Amino acid sequence: MAKLYFYYASMNAGKSTNLLQADFNYRERGMATMLWTAALDHRSLSKAIASRIGLEAEAHRFDAATDLHARVTAAHHVEPLACVLIDEAQFLTRDQVWQCARLADQANIPVLCYGLRTDFQGELFEGAAALLGIADALIELKAACHCGRKATMNLRVDAGGGAVVEGAQTEIGGNDRYVALCRKHFSEALAG
C-alpha cells in the first residue's frame, strides 16, 4: 500500500536536497518518477527544483488550478511511476492534497511532499495544514537556529535584516529574505 508523506521543516533544512536525493535513488534503480514544484517559485532560472548545494532537476509546475490526480494518472498510464515528489508542498491547495492521497490510495503511487509548515508569522500554510491532517507519515527535517537549538520558524527580514511582521503570506525568497530560527528567537525578533 502506497503512502502520502509530508517532509516538513523551516528554511535551509535541506528539503529540496532530500527530494532530489530520493528522486536519484528511484531513478538509479530504473524506476520512473514525476517531480512537481510550485509555479509561483521562479528563483531557479534553468531548472524547476534547485537546492542550495547545487543539485537541480526539471519538474512540472503546479498552481491552484492544476489537477494533480489527472495529470499524474495520465503520465502513469504512459509509463508506470514508482513515485511522485512534490517540492514547495505548502503551496498545494487542500483539494490537491486530497488528490495526492487518492494517488497513494487508489493508484498505489507513493507521494512524497516537501515543504514549510508555517509562514513568516507562524501561521500554517493551506497545503501544510492539510498534509499535517491526512498524511500517512510526517517527517521533520532539522535546521539549526544561530543558538544551536532546532529551527522551527521562518523569520522574514527586510533589506537591512530587520524583522518583517506584516505582508502577504507568500513572498518567494531565500537567505536574502528569510532566516530560520527557534521559536524563542523568532518571538524575540518579532517583539523588536
Confidence bin at 171 (pLDDT 50/70/90): low
Residue 94 has pLDDT above 80, yes or no: yes
Question: Looking at the 3D structure of the chain, how many domains does it have?
Answer: 1
For the sheet with 32-38, list strands across it.
Answer: 60-62, 32-38, 81-86, 111-115, 4-8, 137-140
Residue 83 in any domain: the answer is: yes
The alpha carbons of the chain give a radius of gyration, in whole angstroms, of: 17
The model's confidence at residue 5, banded by pLDDT at 50, 70 and 90, is very high
pLDDT attached to residue 46: 57
Residue 56 is a catalytic residue: no
pLDDT digits (tens, 9 = 90+) for 10-41: 988 999 999 999 999 999 999 999 999 999 85
Question: Is 137 inside any structural domain?
Answer: yes
Q: Which range marks the domain in which residue 115 is found? A: 4-141
- Predicted confidence (pLDDT) per residue in 114-125, tens digit: 999 998 889 999
Instruction: Read off the CATH number of the domain in which 70 is found.
Output: 3.40.50.300
Residue 33 lies in a domain: yes
Pick out the residues of the known binding site for substrate. Answer: 178
pTM equals: 0.91
Q: Is the residue at 146 inside a domain?
A: no
C-alpha cell at 96: 490537491
Q: Assign 173 a pLDDT band (cuts: 50, 70, 90).
A: low
Among positive and negative, which fits the CA dihedral 63, 18, 16, 9? positive
| pLDDT band, residue 177 (cuts 50/70/90) | confident
Annotation: binding site: 9-16, 87-90, 145, 147, 178, 182, 185
The pLDDT, as a whole number, for residue 82 is 98
In a domain, 40, yes or no: yes
Residue 6 has pLDDT above 90, yes or no: yes
Q: Does 21 fall in a domain?
A: yes
pLDDT for the residue 43: 52
CA nearest 66: which of 111, 34, 96? 96
Structural domain contains residue 100: yes
Q: Out of 88, 123, 126, 166, which one is annotated catalytic?
A: 88
**Would 128 be classed as within a structural domain?**
yes
Residue 61, pLDDT > 90, answer yes
